[in-house]
Structure 1
Amino acid sequence: MFVPNQYREPNGSWMVDVIRKNPLALMATNSSPAEGSPPAGPFATHLPVIPDPQMTGEWADDLSGTTLLGHMNRANPHWAALETGSVVLLVFTGPHGYVSPTVYEMTPAAPTWNFTSVHVHGVLEKLDPGEETLEVVQSTVRAFEGEFGTGWDMSESIGYFHKLAPAVGAFRVRVSGADGMFKLSQEQAPEVRDRVQQSFAGRESSRHRETAELMSALPCPHAALSGPPA
């Protein structure tokens, strides 16, 4: 991903925040068709991804060394095209919104789109279709119920999970590096950037308000970096 310097993440914790709060990733891979067969890819699948709960230690600024877990339907042709050792790209999209030139209060001007995105590169490992896959499913439930749910107790559904597990393809990704782009009007004068932030904050759309919150927390280009919003 091309990231102009003014839009680069202040530090790795900002990318971690996007991944945790926006865990529906787009996984993209190239295919390796059998000899004589037409190309079948590239493949791309939207799927839930979580940090491996067994992971210990601090995240590196480029997220290298991190382990992520995910799963997809085994009936998906993408699963059949994957092999342990496949190089994958995981794209996480954070808050974003359209910027109308009316907020600039100047002419000439051009519209743009403010957005946040994290591109994670890594090597995939297919997991055992039995207990390893079941553990990924349970870890995903625990992570999402804790962050987005209402504390649902899965204990009475474990038997049902066992029935579903053979149809689930679980995997582990060992991250080799990541890039984050936080395009939030940093190129604009402070007063213009403030107007963009205020216009987003006043919108009914939750993603615009989330973008406004991120803009208000993002340090100015020459300010000290303080980490992601709470």
Structure 2
Amino acid sequence: MYIPKHFAVTDREKLIRFIKENSFGILFSQTDGRATASHLPFLLKEDEGEFGALYGHMAMGNHHWREIEGEVLVVFPGPHAYVSPTWYEEKDTVPTWNYVAVHVYGTFSLIEDHKQLKKILYDTIDFYESHMENPWTTDLETSANRRGMKGIKGFRIRITEIQGKWKLNQHHPLDRQQRTVQHMKKEERYDSREIARLMQENIDRTLRK
């Protein structure tokens, strides 16, 4: 990912929090010159190894798991929004797109052990159901669930690198950023209001310095 230094985020806690809050990612790999991608939910275990590990599962019918070789990339997209040059109220400006994203690189391995696969599924259920008013639970050892588990493949990605990019107009003058925030708050397309909130956080942080 192209990351100019003023957009780079390296704070580990911030990156971990982002991945957990935007955990539906895209797994990319390449085999024989052809790129493949799968959209999947991921679980981050930040205390495994130097950089942590990602766990997940995919359908047995998805041939992606059979084709993975070497390094993989998981992209976690965050909020994004279009920025109109009219908001700057200045000449010689151009449109752009503000966004937040995290890229995770690592090595992929399949989970063949039944107990380990069960743990991935239980942890996934707990993670995504924990905020529900009446969290759903199940016994994965029932005959129906055991049959269902035969139709999926669990996996682990040992993380080797995490890249974070928060492109929020930080390189623009402060008054231009503030005008952009005010216009973006009125927008209903894309994730404009969330981007406006993140931009305002940066502005407030700058003003406190």
TM-score over 0.5 for the pair: yes
Residue 46 of structure 1, CA deviation: 0.9
Query: 2:5 and 2:208 mapped to 1: Cα distance?
Result: 16
Partner residue, 1:214: 198
Evaluate the alpha carbon distance shift between residue 223 and residue 158 of structure 1 in structure 2; reply closer, same or farther with a 3 A threshold: farther
**In the TM superposition, what are the counterparts of 1:4-19 in structure 2 within 5 Å?**
4-9=4-9, 11-19=11-19
Residue 12 of structure 1, CA deviation: 2.2
Partner residue, 1:136: 120
Evaluate the alpha carbon distance shift between residue 174 and residue 151 of structure 1 in structure 2; reply closer, same or farther with a 3 A threshold: farther
Identity of aligned residues (%): 26
Partner residue, 1:49: 42
Contact in 1 for aligned 2:10/2:163 (Cα 8 Å): no
Residue 152 of structure 1, CA deviation: 1.9
Q: Deviations over 1:85-132 (max 9, x none)?
A: x32100001111000112101111100000111110111121026222
Evaluate the alpha carbon distance shift between residue 27 and residue 215 of structure 1 in structure 2; reply closer, same or farther with a 3 A threshold: same
Partner residue, 1:98: 82
Partner residue, 1:79: 65
2:138 matched to 1:155?
yes
Contact in 2 for aligned 1:74/1:80 (Cα 8 Å): no
Paired letter, 1:27: L
Unmatched segments (≥5 aa) in structure 1: 34-38, 58-62, 226-230
Contact in 2 for aligned 1:6/1:221 (Cα 8 Å): no
Partner residue, 2:29: 29
Contact in 2 for aligned 1:134/1:162 (Cα 8 Å): no
2:193 matched to 1:200?
no
SS in 2 for 1:195: helix
Query: 1:142 and 1:9 mapped to 2: Cα distance?
Result: 29
Unmatched segments (≥5 aa) in structure 2: none
Query: 2:183 and 2:193 mapped to 1: Cα distance?
Result: 9
SS in 2 for 1:110: coil
Higher strand content, 1 or 2: 2
2:153 matched to 1:169?
yes
SS in 2 for 1:46: strand
Contact in 2 for aligned 1:130/1:166 (Cα 8 Å): no
Paired letter, 1:154: T
Evaluate the alpha carbon distance shift between residue 214 and residue 223 of structure 1 in structure 2; reply closer, same or farther with a 3 A threshold: same
Contact in 2 for aligned 1:134/1:161 (Cα 8 Å): no
